[in-house]
């Protein structure tokens, strides 16, 4: 639930790109680059938490992770649902699909916009290369029917 | 942008061209028989001739030229394979030159000797059992049930290659709902039988009847799974788009031969006292045929060069296949008109036309699938 005036991406573009290119779930570091909790939060507490950047433990990133969906056994490692848990279960095998960043309530919308506009286009083809995309069944049909 | 073939590929093309002209074409007359309606044509050349052709092709380095070197092939690229396929398609003599389906390239270390090497050497034909009678591809009724350390296969598979005395089969079967697994099944495995009604003589011999593989409680060990269990359609991803380009090259070659036959016919055939070739309609038809062949050839070479550079060619291969299949069918019908009437021109044009027709049937089947 970031501040109304959020992080200006132009000021952190270099480090953000570094974070987004490193093969490990980027959500935690994107959260730390964000502006933190806004004063309009609806939590019934007296403590001043405005600007705090901790993980809320909502587990959105765990649920959104494509790698954990493919390999659910990795989830057995821990019951925690924090970004730290995501990093320890996924590690360097991260697809860099950025789904975890987009679903994190603590990441600034400016950063999410940057990812969608500047990084996702490049990601789609890379992910297809990774998974191979959908198989072209026509090729098999041709191979069978019209062998050389 | 360089449209000139490199020197080494020109040599490959020259070798294939000489092979077709000196070895395959002299067999055509004998293969097609004497009757105008191809009723005494034969489906294949005699076994000893075939062995001789294979020996010559090996000597020339044309045998299995497109198979990677580590699998015992020539290791030539897609463009070279296209050049060879284009030349081979210019003859009606069915000769496959050691061509092996790239699905077999996925054999693991243990399977290579017994299956891939045997197939590449030409000792055994490969029956590719993917399509089924009455089933809506890619759904399949053939099943693979896990049983102890192996699988039990049941079902029927259609194979569209020529029937062979020695074969090994690659069978796609559903190991669980919605997941196909590929199995290597050797000839003589108990429970595997083959029904072949392929005609050996007559014009029907050119239109192949599929061979039917019948699997009845056919037990294969788990070691015979090709690739990963349940991932049959992930096989050959690296090679299959390239194969589509090579197939397109074959259509171009067939069309080029038809043009050659048609122009000879037009120059030698007379109507109303002058050669047919002097008639503007025939000249126009020949020019259009030549133009469409040239267009198809450029598409094929461009796609093949792209594939050899390691770029993704899914789109280019599909475009080339679509254009060349339709182009070849169009050329066949125009050539029939130049010959003066019958839907199938007399031999050897007739045999080639039947081949082209087969390409078109395959294309129509594909269209039907998408509808």
| Cross-chain Cβ contact B233/A143 below 8 Å | no
> Between chains, do A140 and B138 touch, taking CB under 8 Å as contact?
yes
User: Is B1 contained in some domain?
Assistant: no
- Among residues B330, B319, B347, B264, the alpha carbon closest in space to that of B293 is found at B330
Q: Which two tokens stand for residue A113?
A: 């916009």
B316 assigned to some structural domain: yes
pLDDT in tens, B12-68: 999 999 999 999 999 888 887 777 666 777 778 888 898 999 999 999 999 999 999
Instruction: Please identify, among B183, B209, B230, the residue that sits at the C-terminal boundary of a domain.
Output: B230
Residue B173 lies in a domain: yes
C-beta of residue B330 within 8 angstroms of C-beta of residue B337:
no
Q: d(Cα A66, Cα A83) in Å, to the nearest integer?
A: 15
Nearest to A135 among B233, B244, B358 (CB): B233
- The nearest CA of chain A is from the CA of B297 a distance in Å of 18
User: Is the Cα torsion angle B330, B335, B341, B344 positive or negative in sign?
Assistant: negative
Q: Is residue A8 scored above 60 in pLDDT?
A: yes
Nearest to B241 among A139, A145, A148 (CB): A139
* Residue in B243, B246, B320, B363 to test binding to A, most A beta-carbons within 10 Å: B243
Closest CB to A147 among B161, B314, B365:
B161
Residues B27 and B130 reside in one and the same domain: no
Report yes or no: B168 and B119 within 8 Å, Cβ to Cβ. yes
Identify the three-state secondary structure at position A51.
coil
Report which DSSP code applies to B40: T
Judgement on whether residues B197 and B243 belong to the same structural domain of the protein: no
Task: Tell whether B174 and B116 lie within a shared domain.
Answer: yes
Task: State whether residue B125 is helix, strand or coil.
Answer: strand
Q: Please report, for residues A145, B140, B168, B329, B337, the alpha-carbon distance to residue B364 in angstroms, rounded to integers and kept in the order given.
A: 12, 21, 29, 12, 23
Using 50, 70 and 90 to split pLDDT, how confident is the model at B127? very high
- Residue B329 has what pLDDT? 86
Which domain, by its residues, includes B226?
A: 105-230
Distance between CA atoms of residues B72 and A126, nearest Å: 32
Please report whether residue B2 resides in a domain. Answer: no
Within a domain: B111: yes
Q: Contact A143/B243, CB-based, under 8 Å?
A: yes
> Which residues fall within 8 angstroms of residue B321, CB to CB, at 6 or more apart?
A142, B244, B245, B247, B248, B363
Whether B343 shows a pLDDT value over 70: the answer reads: no
Q: Tell me, what CATH number does B307's domain have?
A: 1.20.140.10
In a domain, B197, yes or no: yes
* Whole-angstrom distance, CA of residue B151 vs CA of residue B237: 25
Q: For residues B90 and B95, what is the distance between their CA atoms, to the nearest angstrom?
A: 11
Question: At A121, is the pLDDT very low, low, confident or very high (cuts 50, 70, 90)?
Answer: low
A143 in contact with B at a CB cutoff of 8 Å? yes
Q: Which of B98, B132, B148 is the last residue of a domain?
A: B98
Q: Which of A126, A132, A144 to mutate to test the interface with B (most CBs of B within 10 A)?
A: A144
Looking at B98, B116, B135, the residue that finishes a domain is: B98
Q: Is B163 helix (H, G, I), strand (E, B) or coil?
A: coil
For residue A133, what is the nearest residue in chain B, using CA coordinates?
B234
A148 contact B CB<8A: yes
Model confidence band, residue B366 (pLDDT cutoffs 50, 70, 90): very low
Extended strands (E) in B101-210: 125-129, 143-147, 150-159, 167-176, 179-186, 192-195
What is the domain-level CATH number for residue B37?
A: 1.10.540.10
Q: What angle do CA B14, B16, B21 make, to 5 degrees?
A: 95
In terms of domains, do B286 and B253 share one? yes
Q: Is A139 on the interface with B (CB under 8 A)?
A: yes
- The pLDDT, as a whole number, for residue B348 is 54
Q: Which residues of A touch B358 (CB under 8 A)?
A: 146
pLDDT surpasses 90 at B272: no
Q: Are residues B241 and B214 in the same domain?
A: no
Asked whether residue B363 falls in the same domain as residue B238, the answer is yes
- For B364, the closest chain A residue by CA position comes to A142
Cα-flanking dihedrals φ and ψ of residue B127, to 5°? -95, 120
Which ipTM was obtained for this model?
0.80
Shortest Cα–Cα distance, B35 to chain A (Å): 28
Name the residue in chain B with its Cα closest to that of A139: B240
B144 and B179 assigned to the same domain: yes
Strand partners of residue B157 = B213
Look at residue B362 and tell me if it is in a domain.
yes
Inter-chain contacts counted by CB atoms under 8 A, chains A and B = 70
Predicted local confidence at residue B208, as pLDDT: 66
**pLDDT surpassing 60 at residue A73:** yes
Per the model's pLDDT, the better-predicted residue between B289 and B199 turns out to be B289
The owner of tokens 């996924």 is A90
**Yes or no, beta carbons of A148 and B103 under 8 Å apart:** no
Residue in B closest to A129 by C-alpha: B312
Find chain B residues with C-beta within 8 A of A147's C-beta.
99, 101, 128, 160-161
Q: Residue B36 in contact with residue B350, Cβ under 8 Å?
A: no
* CB spacing of B160 vs A144 below 8 angstroms: yes
State how far the Cα of A52 lies from the Cα of A111, in Å rounded to an integer. Answer: 17
Query: Are B197 and B249 members of one domain?
Result: no
- Asked if A136's CB is within 8 angstroms of B240's CB, the reply is yes
CA nearest neighbour of B141 among B173, B182, B179, B176? B173
CB atoms within 10 A of CB A25: 32
Q: Chain B interface residues facing chain A, Cβ-Cβ under 8 Å?
A: 85, 96, 99, 101, 103, 128-131, 137-138, 158-161, 233-234, 236-237, 240-241, 243-244, 246-247, 250, 314, 321, 358-359, 362, 365-366, 369
Same domain, B247 and B352: yes
Q: Which of B243, B244, B362 sits opposite A145 (nearest CB)?
A: B362
Residues B250 and B303 in one domain: yes
Kindly report the pTM of this predicted structure: 0.72
Tell me what the mean pLDDT of segment A50-60 comes to. 92
CB atoms within 10 A of CB A113: 12
Total count of domains within chain B: 3
Q: Does residue B41 sit in the same domain as residue B113?
A: no
In a domain, B326, yes or no: yes
| Residue A128 forms contact with B (CB below 8 Å) | no
Q: How confident is the model at residue B255 (pLDDT cuts 50, 70, 90)?
A: very high
Of the candidates B4, B54, B46, the residue with the CA atom closest to the CA atom of residue B27: B46
Q: What is the pLDDT of residue B96?
A: 83
Question: Are B369 and A141 inside 8 Å of each other by CB?
Answer: yes
Angle B47-B48-B50 from CA coordinates, rounded to 5°: 65
Lowest mean pLDDT among A92-96, A137-141, B261-265, B354-358: B354-358
Beta-carbon separation of A148 and B246 below 8 A: yes
Task: Average the pLDDT over A7-12 and give the result.
Answer: 86
For residue A140, list chain B residues with Cβ-Cβ distance below 8 A: 130, 138, 233, 240
**DSSP 3-state assignment of B349?**
helix
Residues B150 and B203 in one domain: yes
Adjacent-strand bridge partners of B201: B42
**Contact, A22 vs A30, CB < 8 A?**
no
């Amino acid at each position: 639930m970031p501040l109304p005036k959020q992080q200006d991406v132009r000021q952190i573009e270099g480090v953000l790109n570094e974070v987004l290119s490193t093969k490990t779930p980027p959500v935690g570091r994107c959260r730390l680059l964000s502006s933190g909790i806004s004063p309009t939060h609806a939590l019934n507490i007296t403590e001043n938490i405005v600007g705090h950047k901790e993980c809320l433990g909502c587990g959105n990133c765990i649920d959104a992770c494509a790698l954990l969906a493919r390999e659910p056994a990795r989830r057995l490692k821990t019951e925690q649902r924090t970004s730290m848990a995501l990093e320890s279960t996924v590690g360097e095998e991260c697809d860099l699909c950025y789904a975890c960043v987009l679903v994190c309530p603590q990441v600034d919308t400016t950063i999410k916009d940057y990812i969608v506009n500047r990084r996702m286009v490049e990601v789609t083809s890379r992910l297809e290369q990774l998974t191979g995309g959908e198989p072209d069944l026509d090729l098999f049909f041709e191979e069978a029917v019209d062998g050389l | 942008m360089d449209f000139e073939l490199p020197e080494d590929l020109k040599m490959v093309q020259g070798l294939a061209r000489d092979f077709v002209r000196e070895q395959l074409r002299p067999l055509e007359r004998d293969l097609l028989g004497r009757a105008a309606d191809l009723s005494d044509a034969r489906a294949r050349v005699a076994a000893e001739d075939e062995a001789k052709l294979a020996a010559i092709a090996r000597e020339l380095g044309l045998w299995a030229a497109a198979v990677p070197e580590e699998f015992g092939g020539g290791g030539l690229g897609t463009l070279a394979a296209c050049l060879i396929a284009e030349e081979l398609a210019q003859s009606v003599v069915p000769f496959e030159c050691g061509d092996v389906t790239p699905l077999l390239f996925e054999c693991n270390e243990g399977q290579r000797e017994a299956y891939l090497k045997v197939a590449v050497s030409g000792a055994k034909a490969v029956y590719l059992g993917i399509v089924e009678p009455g089933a809506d591809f890619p759904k399949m009724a053939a099943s693979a049930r896990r049983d102890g350390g192996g699988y039990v296969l049941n079902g029927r598979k259609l194979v569209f290659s020529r029937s062979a005395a020695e074969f090994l089969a690659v069978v796609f079967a559903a190991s669980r709902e919605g997941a196909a697994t590929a199995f290597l099944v050797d000839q003589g495995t108990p429970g595997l039988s083959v029904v072949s009604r392929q005609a050996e003589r007559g014009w029907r011999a050119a239109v192949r009847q599929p061979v039917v593989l019948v699997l009845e409680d056919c037990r294969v060990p788990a070691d015979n799974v090709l690739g990963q269990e349940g991932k049959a359609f992930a096989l050959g991803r690296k090679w299959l788009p390239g194969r589509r380009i090579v197939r397109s090259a074959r259509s171009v070659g067939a069309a080029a031969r038809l043009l050659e036959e048609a122009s000879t016919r037009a120059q030698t055939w007379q109507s109303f006292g002058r050669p047919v070739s002097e008639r503007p309609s025939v000249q126009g038809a020949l020019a259009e045929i030549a133009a469409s062949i040239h267009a198809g050839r450029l598409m094929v070479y461009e796609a093949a060069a792209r594939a050899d550079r390691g770029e993704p060619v899914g789109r280019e291969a599909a475009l080339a296949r679509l254009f060349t299949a339709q182009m070849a069918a169009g050329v066949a019908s125009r050539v029939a008109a130049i010959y003066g009437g019958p839907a199938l021109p007399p031999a050897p044009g007739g045999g080639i036309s039947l081949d082209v027709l087969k390409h078109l049937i395959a294309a129509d089947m594909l269209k039907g699938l998408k509808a």
